[in-house]
Amino acid sequence: MTLHHLVFNPYEVNIYIVAAADGQCAVVDPACCSPDEQTTLKKFIADMGLRPAWLINTHGHFDHVIGNAFVCRTWPVKTAAHRDDLFLMENAYRQGEIFGFTVEQPPTPAVFLNEEDIITFDDVSLQIRHIPGHSPGSIVLYSSVQNWIIVGDVMFRGSIGRTDLPGGNYDLLMNGIENKLMTLPSDTKVYTGHGPETSIGRERKYNPFLKK
């Protein structure tokens, strides 16, 4: 299993591609919002010899789902997200309008993910942890074998996800971070939805939002 990383759209969303040994892959938070970015993603996947099998959204905010329709048109993927963010995905066009983006309506997820679900294909195994607060349906994807976690906008290097958007809840977010992220090994790599990667140990020590 290998993890690849691209950055798309003016909000600089981190898109992750989790690739199995046999070439199958999961595209996490496809954020490509222009023809050039769509071409970049398509070329990257072709050059790497990958075959997208899954499209997984960590949450339903428009900047993370703006490329969903393109990915679904281009590859035969199974789409997955948490049901509690369906209302955000259904209103992605309106979300985008507010910020000056045109968002093609994302297809309804084929699979609704829940706490402790596991997505598997070939040598890939991703455990789902539901951490609401940034949005009601925010999830993270944990690889215990490779000791990393994709957290979307739940937590950032030195910060946490904002909670002032529809469905946000600061107390829920902090409870989930403390009980479902900070309990992981200190050397667990943390791949965020925006900005640089970090680690559980670094956030325990330096994140001003966390209990010391």
List pLDDT tens digits, range 157-208: 999 999 998 899 999 999 999 999 999 999 999 999 999 999 999 999 999 9
Asked if residue 74 is part of any domain, the answer here is: yes
Please state which of the ranges 50-54, 102-106, 116-120, 168-172 shows the lowest mean pLDDT.
102-106
> Which residues are registered as beta bridge partners of 140?
129
Per residue in 68-83, pLDDT (tens digit) is 999 999 999 999 999 9
The alpha-helical segments, DSSP class H, found in 91-209 are: 92-98, 170-176, 200-206
Is residue 150 a part of any domain in this protein? Answer: yes
50 located within any domain: yes
The token pair at 132 is: 């609401």
Q: Which residue has the higher pLDDT, 1 or 137?
A: 137
Give 88-96's long-range contacts (Cβ < 8 A, gap of 24+): 88/59, 88/60, 88/61, 88/62, 88/135, 88/137, 88/166, 88/167, 89/57, 89/60, 89/65, 92/60, 92/62, 92/65, 92/66, 93/62, 95/61, 95/62, 96/62, 96/66
The answer to the question of residue 211 being in a domain is no
The predicted structure's pLDDT at residue 102: 85
What's the pLDDT score for residue 212? 55
Contact 69, 106 (CB under 8 A): yes
Domain that holds residue 123: 2-206
Give the mean pLDDT of the chain. 95
Query: Which CATH number goes with the domain that contains 55?
Result: 3.60.15.10
Residue 195 lies in a domain: yes
- Segment 120-146 mean pLDDT: 96
